[in-house]
Amino acid sequence: MQVHVDASDSRPIYVQIMDEVRRGLLMGTLRPEDPLPSVRELASGLRINPRTVLQAYAALEREGVVYVRRGQGTFVSPDVEPDEQERPRMALEVARRALTEAQRSGLALDDLLEAFRELSEESPESDGPEGGKV
Amino acid sequence: MSVARVTPILPVELGAGPFAISTKGLNKRYGSIQALAGLDLDVPEGGVYVLVGPNGAGKTTLLKVLMNLIRFDGGRARLLGLDTRKQGALVRAQVGSVPEDHSAGYEWMRIGRLLEHCSAYYPTWDQEYANRLAAKLEIDLTRRCAQLSKGQARRVQLLLALAHRPPVLLMDEPTDGLDHVARDGMLELLAEHLTDTPTTALISTHRVYEIEKLVDHVGMIRGGRLLAQMPTDVLRSRLRRYSAALPEGWQPNEKDPGGTLTRRAGLGRAMEWTVWGEEEKVVAELSGAGAHLQEITPLSVDDAATALLSTWET
């Protein structure tokens, strides 16, 4: 799983890490019982404060998404299902970004929707969770 | 364009602690120059605290005072509970330091010998770690100190600061002189170091963007005084840029939201405010005034420092 964080994102970095894990679950790149990178690995890989990683993992643990095996690390919970509310939430997030960009370019919502329709006709296999080829 | 009529009140208290470093009313004068003018600063234990401020703000003076390398005139400074003025040697034993200047040690000494020399001072010196750091930082142990470039000297200083795994790191422009690859390597090392060793770090720099993701607290000083200190999460949520399209007949001066630091006109009817305040309130004020909000973004620590330091009334 590749985790990306961005200091200029409006979300705090620990929230970005949590979202990346949720995204991994949704996309199927993270599955139950998969290990998460160690705090040391993730902190040094992303050049971020290890406390930020700890904060993200602790919050995910409280949500039941991951659990800690003593001395072995952090793992995805066995019974975790991709959160069905996660999909619309993420869609909303993407839509918000697109809309902001559109407004900045002086486009109306209808212009944007029309462009989406046109794009999805060009790549019909891209609608569906497994197709992600846009 | 600066429009701050009423300077917003910024946080200066970091709660009850515990603090690894704490100064109260610190004063230091060099002749006619007041380098520190009643500085109150607190660095939480385990925090990575970045100190920003214009040239001559007192950053380097503070770091030197904390190690008792220079005497101060008034106030007090504590590091891990020690009085820095009375217990200077004890304090220095607890500190890993990357100083302002780039002299790595005795000019005639080879780096390998310098490491042996320094290791004798620290009971906690970790030779195996020192070797790993030397390899990672690509330090040639057979070189003499006088032959080092600025960047190479910085790497040696960094090794010396980390290898005894001190509880406190004091770093003055630690990335100064490092090329891109070396800087990235240093950030990786620091992230690992912070994971493996319980550390409080106080870092002074003019280039926060280089270390921004490692930092969890920020302090801003000017004229030897503290303007603000807070967790970076607070800074990111409280200080934001609001872009909006304006309605016809907008009279900007009357309608700036409270806490506005700067207002910048864009093309045509676009306007951008930098505001210190709760996002909901600012949005309500702007929307209430008829502005059509388009984007809200947090500021990087560098941009935040520029916005706050340049609008601050002295």
Which chain B residue lies closest to A104 (C-alpha atoms)? B294
A44/B188 CB distance under 8 A: yes
Chain A residues with CB-CB distance to B208 below 8 A: none
Are B11 and B191 contacting, i.e. CB atoms less than 8 angstroms apart? no
- pLDDT for the residue A104: 74
> Rounded to an integer, what distance in angstroms lies between the CA atom of residue B182 and that of residue B190?
12
What single-letter amino acid sits at A105? S
Q: What percent of chain A has pLDDT over 90?
A: 46
In a domain, B3, yes or no: no
Structural domains of chain A ordered from first start: 13-76 (1.10.10.10), 86-125 (no CATH)
Q: Are residues B256 and B116 located together in one domain of the fold?
A: no
Q: Are residues B222 and B248 located together in one domain of the fold?
A: no
Q: Are residues B207 and B73 located together in one domain of the fold?
A: yes
Which of B202, B230, B258 is where one domain is finished?
B230
A43/B191 CB distance under 8 A: yes
Looking at the partner chain, which of A5, A45, A48 has a beta carbon nearest the beta carbon of B214? Answer: A48
Q: Which residues contact B123 (CB under 8 A, 6 or more apart)?
A: none
Q: Are residues B177 and B120 located together in one domain of the fold?
A: yes
B270 touches A at CB < 8 Å: no
Top pLDDT among A7 and B167 is at: B167
In a domain, B13, yes or no: no
B187 touches A at CB < 8 Å: yes
- pLDDT for the residue B313: 57
Distance from CA of B194 to the nearest CA of A (A): 7
From residue B30, give the alpha-carbon distance in Å to each of A39, B7, B72. 45, 30, 10
Listed in sequence order, the DSSP H helices in chain B are 59-66, 88-93, 111-119, 127-136, 150-162, 180-196, 232-238, 252-255, 279-288, 301-311
> Rounded to an integer, what distance in angstroms lies between the CA atom of residue B39 and that of residue B221?
8
3-state secondary structure A98-121: HHHHHHHCCCCHHHHHHHHHHHHH
Question: What are the beta bridge partners of residue B222?
Answer: B225
Are A33 and A75 contacting, i.e. CB atoms less than 8 angstroms apart? yes
Chain B residues with CB-CB distance to A103 below 8 A: 294
With both helix axes pointing from N to C terminus, report the angle between B180-196 and A50-62 in degrees, rounded to the nearest 10. Answer: 50
Q: Are residues B68 and B127 located together in one domain of the fold?
A: yes
Chain B residues with CB-CB distance to A50 below 8 A: 191, 194-195
A44/B236 CB distance under 8 A: no
In a domain, B9, yes or no: no
- pLDDT for the residue B207: 92
B296/A10 CB distance under 8 A: yes
A47/B213 CB distance under 8 A: yes
Q: How many alpha carbons fall within 13 Å on the CB side of residue B221?
A: 29
| Residue B259 belongs to domain with CATH number | 3.30.70
> Rounded to an integer, what distance in angstroms lies between the CA atom of residue B141 and that of residue B145?
10
**Domain count along chain B:** 2
Chain B residues with CB-CB distance to A46 below 8 A: 191, 213
In a domain, B209, yes or no: yes
| Residue B51 belongs to domain with CATH number | 3.40.50.300
- pLDDT for the residue A124: 60
**Residue A3 pLDDT greater than 70, yes or no:** yes
Q: Are residues B184 and B244 located together in one domain of the fold?
A: no
In a domain, B6, yes or no: no
Distance from CA of A131 to the nearest CA of B (A): 31
Q: Are residues B209 and B80 located together in one domain of the fold?
A: yes
B293 touches A at CB < 8 Å: no
- pLDDT for the residue B190: 96
Looking at the partner chain, which of B214, B294, B296 has a beta carbon nearest the beta carbon of A104? Answer: B294
Chain A residues with CB-CB distance to B188 below 8 A: 44-45, 47
Query: A12, A72, A43, A14: which is closest to B197 by C-alpha?
Result: A43
Strands B292-298 and B239-245, by their bridges, are antiparallel
**Residue A132 pLDDT greater than 50, yes or no:** no
B295 touches A at CB < 8 Å: yes
Query: B293, B269, B274, B298: which is closest to B283 by C-alpha?
Result: B293
Q: Are residues B67 and B82 located together in one domain of the fold?
A: yes
In a domain, B4, yes or no: no
Chain A residues with CB-CB distance to B191 below 8 A: 43-44, 46-50
Burial of residue B198, with CB atoms counted within 10 A of its CB: 0-12 exposed, 13-18 middle, 19 or more buried: exposed
Which of B210, B230, B250 is where one domain is finished?
B230
Burial of residue B250, with CB atoms counted within 10 A of its CB: 0-12 exposed, 13-18 middle, 19 or more buried: middle
Structure tokens at B219: 């302090």
- pLDDT for the residue A11: 84
B297/A8 CB distance under 8 A: yes
Q: Average pLDDT over chain A, rounded to whole? A: 85
Question: What are the beta bridge partners of residue B283?
Answer: none
Q: Are residues B280 and B199 located together in one domain of the fold?
A: no
Q: Which residues of A touch chain B, with CB atoms under 8 Å apart? A: 5, 7-8, 10, 12-13, 39-40, 43-52, 100, 103-104
Interface test with B, best of A6, A44, A55 (most B CBs within 10 A): A44
CA B172-B178-B180 angle, to 5 degrees, is 130
In a domain, B12, yes or no: no
Domain of B238 in residue numbering reads as 234-311
Top pLDDT among A87 and B39 is at: B39
- pLDDT for the residue B3: 57
Q: Within chain B, which residues score under 70 in pLDDT? A: 1-7, 104-105, 252-253, 312-314
Are B301 and B238 contacting, i.e. CB atoms less than 8 angstroms apart? no
| Long-range interactions of B126-132: CB distance < 8 A, separation 24+ | B126/B163, B126/B164, B126/B165, B127/B163, B129/B162, B129/B163, B129/B165, B130/B159, B130/B163
Looking at the partner chain, which of B46, B189, B212 has a beta carbon nearest the beta carbon of A7? Answer: B212
Q: Are residues B216 and B249 located together in one domain of the fold?
A: no
In a domain, B7, yes or no: no
Q: Are residues B194 and B177 located together in one domain of the fold?
A: yes
Residue A133: which pLDDT band, with cuts at 50, 70 and 90?
very low
Residue corresponding to tokens 């003019």: B206
Distance from CA of B233 to the nearest CA of A (A): 7
Residue-wise DSSP of B94-143: TEEEE-SS---S-TTSBHHHHHHHHHTT-TT--HHHHHHHHHHTT--TTS
Looking at the partner chain, which of B187, B237, B294 has a beta carbon nearest the beta carbon of A47? Answer: B187
Which chain B residue lies closest to A15 (C-alpha atoms)? B233
Task: Please tell me the pTM assigned to this model.
Answer: 0.89
Structure tokens at A81: 């299902």
Q: Are residues B211 and B240 located together in one domain of the fold?
A: no
Which of B230, B261, B287 is where one domain is finished?
B230
Interface test with B, best of A8, A13, A49, A54 (most B CBs within 10 A): A49
